[in-house]
Amino acid sequence: MNKLRYLLLAPLLLAACSNPSPMQTEVTSDSTTGIVGGTEVSPGSREMYSTVGLYDKQSKSLCTGSLISENLVLTAGHCIGDDPKQMVVIFKQKFDDAQPENIRVVTAAKRHEQYNPKQSRNTADIAVIKFDSSAGLPQGYGPAKLLPNFSLLQPGARIVAVGYGLSKSWIFKSGAGVLRTTELKVKDGFSETEIMIDQSLKKGVCSGDSGGPGYMDVDGQLYLWGVVSRGDSIPIPLTPNCFLFSVYTRVDVYTPWIIQAANELLAL
C-alpha cells in the first residue's frame, strides 16, 4: 500500500468499519468578517492546517481546497479551468499577504470523469490537483485526516466550514480572499453522493468557498468529510444567495476515485 493510499484509508480502517449554482468568484478582498456570518481564521490554527486557497490566473477566479498529501489538493470539479497550469495554491490566511514562499504552482489536475453541473444531484463535483512540492510545505501545514465514522453526519450534526469565499453576498459582494470559518448543521443526505447543509441562520459557504473542506470536530480534532460543491441561487427578496443551503460532495463515496486520480497524477 503506497503512502497516499495509507493517508486516505487509514482513518477509515481504524473505524469499525431549483438549480444550484457553482461558487467561483473574481477575487476582491476586504477586512469584514464572514465566510458569510463567520470569523477570520487565525494563522497556525487547526482550521488553517489543511486548508488552502486556489487562484486561477487565467479566469481571475478563486476556490478553496484541502491538502490530502504533501503535494496534492482535493477540491471541486468546477474549480478546474481550461488550463490547470494557470492555477496556483496559496498557503496564507489572506491572499493579499501572500509572498512567493506562500505560493505553489499547479502542475496537473484531474477532474472526475462523470462531473456534470447540469444535474441537480450526484454531480461528481470533485477533483484532485497536483502542485510543485520542490520547496516543501510551508510551516504549519499538513494533510487532512478523514472522518473515521461517516455515520456521524446525521441531520442536526454540527460541521465546521472553512473557505476563502465572500463574506457579503447581498447587494454588494465582497470579502473574498480571506480565510474564514463558521459552524453549520447537516440538513439531510440529499443524494447518494452528497449532503445538504443548512444555512438558514445567515451563516454559510458562498462564492469562492467551492472545493473547500467540510470538517467535523471529534474530540478536538478536525476530520475531513466533504467538499463544497454548490449552494442556493434563489432570486427572491430577503433570500439572497448563500443564505439557504449548500451541498457538499461526500469524500467517503469518492475515496477509491481519489486514490486512483492521485496515483495517476503522482506518476506524471
Which ranges of 99-243 would DSSP assign to H, the alpha helix?
none
Cα-to-chain-centroid distance, residue 136: 21
**What confidence score (pLDDT) does residue 6 get?**
33
Residue with cell 467517503: 252
Model confidence over 135-178: pLDDT tens digits? 999 999 999 999 999 999 999 999 999 998 754 444 334 446 88
Q: What is the dihedral of CA 64, 67, 71, 75, to 10 degrees?
A: -40
**What confidence score (pLDDT) does residue 241 get?**
58
Residue 88 has pLDDT above 50, yes or no: yes
pLDDT band at 245 (very low <50, low <70, confident <90, very high): confident
Work out the mean pLDDT of the chain and round it to a whole number: 81
Residue 207 has pLDDT above 50, yes or no: yes
Give the pLDDT mean for 17-41. 44
pLDDT band at 201 (very low <50, low <70, confident <90, very high): low
Model confidence over 43-85: pLDDT tens digits? 889 999 999 999 999 988 889 999 999 999 999 999 999 999 9
**What confidence score (pLDDT) does residue 170 get?**
40
Q: Closest Cα to residue 165, out of 14, 24, 10?
A: 24
Cα separation of 176 and 29, whole Å? 5
Residue with cell 485526516: 145
pLDDT band at 243 (very low <50, low <70, confident <90, very high): low
Q: Is 184 left (phi over 0), alpha (psi -120 to 50) or beta?
A: beta
- pTM: predicted TM-score of the whole model, two decimal places: 0.83
Contacts of 54 (CB under 8 A, 6+ apart): 62, 63, 64, 65, 73, 75, 79, 87, 88, 89, 90, 106, 129, 211
